[in-house]
A and B are shown apart, each in its own frame.
Chain A
Amino acid sequence: MLAPVTDTDGAPFWQYAARGELRVQFCAECAEPRFPPRPCCPHCQSFASEWRPVGGHGRIWSYVVPHPPLLPDYAACAPYVVVVVELVDLPRIRLVGNLVGRAGDPLGAFPPDRVRIGERVRVVFDGDGMPQWVLERA
């Protein structure tokens, strides 16, 4: 599987995720959250930022179910569910991820026909510190 190839701006997200924390970059001047992370604030142009913990609850904004041709590791799991999750407490922050039955499940474990836009989900982390999403009602 592809590991995240991070850059200077994105590295803190993955460092926090490896500790089981979901954090998002906020402007340290005007407090506006931004994702994906970037060098300065598009609202106030400040270069000062901080990574604040966010509630790991969201709703499914959209989803796709990829089928081959895919990279070999992904083809082996296909079809699998990729979701865009809108965070409940920060509705303009959305995260791409996978819907799974429980933390650590492989990519293809969740049945695609059970996914609905608008469903409530919460974040969990697998053994490698990758965020995953499980249904709240499960």
Chain B
Amino acid sequence: MVGIKDATAIVGIGQTPFAKHLPEDERTLACRAVLAALDDAGIAPGEVDALASYTMEDTDEVELAKAVGLGDLTFFSKVGYGGGGSCATVAHLAAAIAAGQATVGVAWRSRKRGSGPRPWTNTQVQLPTPAQWTRPFGLLRPVDEIAMLARRHMHEYGTTRDHLFNVALACRNRANQNPAAVMYERPLTREMYMNARWISEPLCLYDNCLETDGALACVVVSRERARDCRRPPVYVHSAAQGLPAQHHGMVNYWNDDPLTGPAWTAARHLWKHADLTPQDVDVAQIYDAFTPLVPLSLEGYGFCGRGEGGAFTEGGALEIGGRLPLNTGGGGLSEAYVHGFNLITEGVKQLRGTSTAQVPGAATCLVTAGEGVPTSALLLRN
């Protein structure tokens, strides 16, 4: 069987500034990020024949292609489930290119979540199945839904607020090294964390990601084509999506084991098709809309045993020099929250050796999409 292992590479990345408010609209930001990524790759817009993004992306293919002057498109795909789709955009392009359906693919996300509305306030689109079972009771926001699983994880396994602080701190420390990060000049202390206002107990303000305006993009081509590009290729070694049997999204309360989420499903496929194991991963970019997603993902992707995700964060494990340096651009918690696309581009920077918090000699990087929703993941290598 011909798979996608190392068949394609990310050869270009681009991003706009990140801020609470950017003056330009989402479409303009999308165009800027895509053109920046193509310029980084040294590929002309007219050569692009494939696109992939999120179903929540408001700039559609027609608008983007006609604005930046893309060529004739023969593959375009959108992935659902919000931040669960981030890595799948690249995975779809990799599969399409490996299968011969396209030659130059661009994945992107542009979002004004910083200055735009909070999606959960729109009750008209939020109330169908399964919201009738949760929202009338005041379980209104994604943070409430995830806090319910976090509390159960604390109860079953002894995960603590200090463990969640370790996640928030690692991301903030990396953001403090990254001039592009929204939280570049804003250090975090344990005292600030423990005294912060609650959002949904047991989660406080610093357990929540930022609300950011910004856009990012990356360019995917075949490994043969990658040799001719401007930058060293970062190979898509393995890729997976994950929707477990009897999964219910962020309100995953209705199956035998709610604390085993989509990460476990994605991980099984990811490692099965890889030459690497979790022990071979030099640096990880793990989706962090909320801090508890990190311990859950550490368990799901096999960096520790079931229930050990909290304890794994102890002793500086997630810092540079630790067992698994995490979210080295600052992640969604402290660089920018753009549905996890900045985790993909940061993974590429690490494997090019150009991160602002470079892990010395990094050769492999795991990038994950949102845990708690149908998800996706990429294993990248240089």
Contacts and interface: CB of A to CB of B under 8 A. Distances in A.
A94 B134 CA distance: 11
Interface residues of A, number: 40
B53 to A, nearest CB: 28
Interface residues of B, number: 38
Given A94-B253, A117-B155, A65 B129 contact: no
- At the interface, is chain A mostly helix, strand, loop or mixed? loop
Contacts of A74: 138, 140
Contacts, number: 107
Interface string A28-54: 000000011000001000000000000
B133 A5 contact: no
A71 B202 CA distance: 20
B251 A96 contact: yes
A7 B132 contact: yes
A97 B135 CA distance: 9
A7 B139 CA distance: 19
A66 B200 CA distance: 4
Interface stretch (B1-9, B83-91, B142-150, B347-355): B142-150
A85 B148 CA distance: 11
Contact of A6 (B123, B132, B138, B255): B132
Nearest 4 CB-CB pairings of A with B: A65-B201, A5-B127, A62-B152, A4-B132
Interface of A: 1-7, 9-10, 14, 35-36, 42, 61-67, 69-71, 74, 77, 79-80, 82, 84, 92-98, 107, 112, 117, 130
12 contacts: A4-B136, A7-B129, A36-B129, A36-B254, A66-B138, A67-B198, A70-B141, A82-B138, A82-B148, A92-B254, A92-B255, A97-B137
